[in-house]
Amino acid sequence: MIQKLRRSGWIVVVLVGFISGGCMQEHGDVSSDPFLDSLQARTFAFFWETAHPETALIPDRWPTRTFSSVAAVGFGLSAYLVGIERGYISREQGAERVYRTLRFLWEAPQGRDRTRVAGYKGFFYHFLEMDSGHRFQQVELSSIDTALLMAGVLSAQAYFDGDDPMERAIRAYADSLYQRVEWDWMQPRPPLIAMGWHPERGYHTHDYTGYSEAMILYVLALGSPTFPVDPEAWEAWTSTYQWGTFYGQTFVQYSPLFTHQYSHVWIDFRGIQDAYMRAKGIDYFENSRRATLAQRAYAIENPDGWRGYGPDVWGLTACDGPMDTTVVIQGVQRRFRSYAARGASLVYIMDDGTIAPTAAGGSLPFTPELSLRALKTMKERYGEGIWGRYGFLDAFNPTFQLAEARLRHGRVVPGLGWFDTDYLGIDQGPILLMAENLRSELLWRLMRRSPYIVRGLKQAGFSGGWLDGEEMPEIPRVIHERQP
């Protein structure tokens, strides 16, 4: 359907459902911008068209042939809901795709084996083979990627509330998948949660400390009725935050913008506070707004003199890059990187001149006018170099001009710089879903209804705003025994 509409040169968008206050009323001129229609339609098509025809797994990247990212699957499950609401697909089409995805994930083998399994203890491996769903090479059993997957699973559960057999099955599979995860097992050094586990060598040596995208991980682990972590995990995690001022903005510091965006894709943090934020007098939504403004201010000052940076071209986050090399350009030694967690804050600065459109796109609800202007400027300035079949390609670097370089990804356009030739699922997701949160608050409204999210937030000590009218939910347990 998307392909047919695009070939005809126009996109039909159907606005369905309740549009609540804040974003639409304050930024009506931004949220109704026709550019967002095209951006969302193309970005949605990435998830709809690149999913494996049998397993329904989403590729980590496209068109490069690769494995599936379970985090991208989580973004994809939520993307299908946007597709239904925007009229790109029917509810029946979306339900069928979600059902197939959840059924496959539930039936995929779990166990301690090193191969031919998808996960263990309810967690999933970071990357899975597209056709079999088995562990890719020797990647880790990932706590954060499982959490992002489960966020997508729970959003689908909240959306498909009908009484027909398929929608009832979606809700049942969602309950089973989420309640199977043994969150407390991923705590070799309690009360913090470890980054992962390998069957070859055991737990990852690092836990999630310091502010990051792991906020969604801790909320989901606290909300579990089967294998929860103790509430002290949240206090222990927030005690490792770094608060400070960077480029005129005072906020909890961390460098890549995705860390300030991922949890907000699904959780509406406006007006709710934990003990840490109550002491600071702001909420996490405002914290992300300040982090975004700080990055933009950094790009405007552009201390390292990278080409192209400015008030309307900014955004450092984890993304592809040209290559790992150091070269001298106009008498200045420049170090470039391939895939890296680029960012700028008091924690660290990693900047090689590579901009990722998802950095601005994922901040659309925080800085609507500035983010939209940045996205439109990138498209207008660089055209087909950065904009294609599925919207924004992953990244670009105007400073990198080495036409003869042996690139793993991307291409060099003479006079314009390096441009990626791949789309990445974990970067496409925030663009589509945060655009929808700006326009209709879809994911936020859905997840405010999730008893698991409500329970997790309350266990973490959140109160205020929309949470004040919510009681601690009693959640029926799906019977799960611990895996040996």
**pLDDT reported for residue 361:** 98
| Strand-pair category, 202-203 with 249-252 | unpaired
> Taking the CA of residue 185 as centre, how many other CA atoms within 13 Å lie in the half-sphere pointing to its CB?
19
Residue 142 to residue 139: CA distance in whole angstroms: 8
Say if 482 falls within a structural domain. no
Low-confidence ranges of the chain (pLDDT < 50): 1-26
Say if 178 falls within a structural domain. yes
| Strand-pair category, 61-62 with 423-424 | antiparallel
Residue 459 to residue 151: CA distance in whole angstroms: 17
**pLDDT reported for residue 357:** 99
The total domain count for the chain is 1
Q: What is the pLDDT of residues 269-307, one digit of tens each?
A: 999 999 999 999 999 999 999 999 999 999 999 999 999
What's the CATH number where 17 sits? 1.50.10.140
Average model confidence (pLDDT) for the chain?
94
Q: In degrees rounded to 5, what are phi and psi of residue 297? A: -65, -40
**pLDDT reported for residue 28:** 53
Say if 481 falls within a structural domain. no
**pLDDT reported for residue 404:** 84
Say if 325 falls within a structural domain. yes
Expressed as residue numbers, the domain containing 72 is 2-469
Residue 85 to residue 94: CA distance in whole angstroms: 10
Say if 475 falls within a structural domain. no
Say if 271 falls within a structural domain. yes
Say if 300 falls within a structural domain. yes
455 within 8 A of 223, measured Cβ to Cβ: yes
Q: With CA atoms as reference, report the closest residue to 314 among 358, 254, 263, 248.
A: 358
Say if 477 falls within a structural domain. no
